[in-house]
Structure 1
Amino acid sequence: MKTKAGTPYYISPEVLDGNYDESCDIWSAGVILYILLSGVPPFFGDDDSEILASVKKGYYTFDIPEFEGISNSAKDLIQNMVTKPEKRFKADQVLSHPWMKEDIKQKNKQLPLNFNALKNFTQHHKLKKVALSFIASQLSENEISDLGKLFRQLDKNGDGTLTVDEIREGLAGTNDKNIEEVRKVISSIDTDGSGKIDYTEFLAATMEKSLYMKEDKLHQAFKMLDIDGNGKISKDELKQILGKELGKYDENYWDNMIKEVDKNGDGEIDYNEFIDMMNTISFRK
């Protein structure tokens, strides 16, 4: 109970101090619950040292778009798990908490549409959107079963696409005053210009980061963009892949697309730079 060992995102502050007991696992489980409900970590940073410094401060918030629609009961449970040892729940208190006893197995329950996930997609780098669309097209039904079910629920007329009205109907609390926001989001996600969101575009915008950041998915996407197979993505390769869609743009547009990702300034995007781009968390911006 004195070894300072653990994974940065999940480790409790007292483990970092080398003085802890089994309640450190309650903290870690609370962090996992936070991530499961939101898709993002409560403590974050650009590297391990920044993440650990954030953990030691112990400050986190529910005031982010990803926690809209999450019940107060769930937040209360997290607050009682991710807190100081003297205030932290014991395991039996976690298991007896009202949120843990709620019936979540309603067979016909409508799956929620996370509009913030769709909005976050609009903030991604153009190249990341292309890579996500490719990855989405390669996913198996097992990997996206819930998203597939959600798409079918939203697609009221069964034509394989989602319109503005269909998406608005799937958003709890959406009303006429933000229909323009819905239209803008659809326009950004609608990569083929059809005015609607097709199945692959929907998956690209809503699949979880843990799915698309798998090594095999990233490698396949990079190979698709690296046409000549030299381990780097050039401006000419981007123009070949995106030329039809973005042919109206001048050379500066393509140069800037490279520069935004090209950290070493060699005029091309290598695999590590590609991974960094895909790993960028846009919701904090």
Structure 2
Amino acid sequence: MLSLTRMFSAGLLFTLAATHVAAASVDEIFRSEDTDGDGALSVAEAQAAAPKTFRTMDSNGDGVLKVDEIAAYTAAESAPEMVWPAEVLASVSQKTLEYWDGNHDGKVTEQEYVKASVDMMLLADADGDRKVTREELQRFRGEAVTP
């Protein structure tokens, strides 16, 4: 099951290719991440979920993400019908790394990833309250809003 941070984790990639990414349903995201049951995903909840995703992406366990790990994760999380031309996957993965890499050293630490995950989550925060409701997430994903 994909978490909210996993959905947002490829940052630019997932934004550009949202219709092709196998993302969890809004209900699944809220079941797994809305830990206080208030109907909104908070910054604290996103921060709590991000390290697990980071560790999943960090395939060699060295505590940093490099472009090849981002590319492998992106390909693995894409919908089965999504085929990435090698040059596109490389370019998108590089841009994603650059977006997440807060100190611009060519790699992403867990701390940098957590910050980037929260920043991406907050893109869906239409009312600026630093929480994302089901409706905000559905609109951000381009889905019909369900009551």
The TM-score normalised by the length of structure 2 is: 0.52
Number of the residue aligned with 1:247: 84
Number of the residue aligned with 2:53: 221
Query: Residue 240 of structure 1 aligns to which amino acid in structure 2?
Result: A
Q: In the TM superposition, what whole-angstrom CA distance separates every residue of 1:149-202 from its partner, at most 9, and x where no partner exists?
A: xxxxxxxxxxxxxxxxxxxxxxxxxxxxxxxxxxxxxx836623xxxxx8x333
Q: In the TM superposition, what whole-angstrom CA distance separates every residue of 1:238-284 from its partner, at most 9, and x where no partner exists?
A: 12222253622153222111101111111111111111112212136
Q: How many angstroms does 1:209 deviate by?
A: 2.3
Number of the residue aligned with 2:106: 267
From 221, 235, 247, give the equivalent of 2:67: 235
**Cα separation, 2, equivalents of 1:201 and 1:273:** 26
Relative to structure 1, the CA distance from residue 277 to residue 221 in structure 2 (aligned partners, 3 Å threshold; closer, same or farther) is same
Regions of 4+ moved over 3 Å: 203-208
Q: What is the aligned-residue identity percentage?
A: 12
**Cα separation, 2, equivalents of 1:258 and 1:234:** 7
Any gaps of 5 or more consecutive residues in structure 1? Answer: 1-120, 131-186, 193-197
Q: In the TM superposition, what whole-angstrom CA distance separates every residue of 1:62-109 from its partner, at most 9, and x where no partner exists?
A: xxxxxxxxxxxxxxxxxxxxxxxxxxxxxxxxxxxxxxxxxxxxxxxx
Contact 2:9 2:117 survives alignment (8 Å)? no
Correspondence 1:127 to 2:10: yes
**Which one has a bigger Cα radius of gyration?**
1
**Which structure would you say has the larger RCO, counting Cα contacts within 8 Å and 6 or more residues apart?**
2
Contact 1:235 1:258 survives alignment (8 Å)? yes
Relative to structure 1, the CA distance from residue 267 to residue 276 in structure 2 (aligned partners, 3 Å threshold; closer, same or farther) is same
Query: Residue 233 of structure 1 aligns to which amino acid in structure 2?
Result: L
Q: How many correspondences in the alignment?
A: 102
Number of the residue aligned with 2:116: 277
**Cα separation, 1, equivalents of 2:96 and 2:28:** 20
Q: In the TM superposition, what whole-angstrom CA distance separates every residue of 1:23-75 from its partner, at most 9, and x where no partner exists?
A: xxxxxxxxxxxxxxxxxxxxxxxxxxxxxxxxxxxxxxxxxxxxxxxxxxxxx
Contact 1:190 1:201 survives alignment (8 Å)? no
Contact 2:58 2:69 survives alignment (8 Å)? yes
Query: After superposition, where does 1:102-251 map in structure 2 within 5 Å?
Result: 125=8, 127=10, 188=18, 191-192=21-22, 200-203=24-27, 208-210=40-42, 212-213=45-46, 215=48, 217-243=49-75, 245=78, 247-248=84-85, 249-251=88-90
Contact 1:129 1:204 survives alignment (8 Å)? no
The TM-score normalised by the length of structure 1 is: 0.29
Give secondary structure in 2 for the equivalent of 1:209: strand
Q: How many angstroms does 1:212 deviate by?
A: 3.7
Contact 2:12 2:92 survives alignment (8 Å)? no
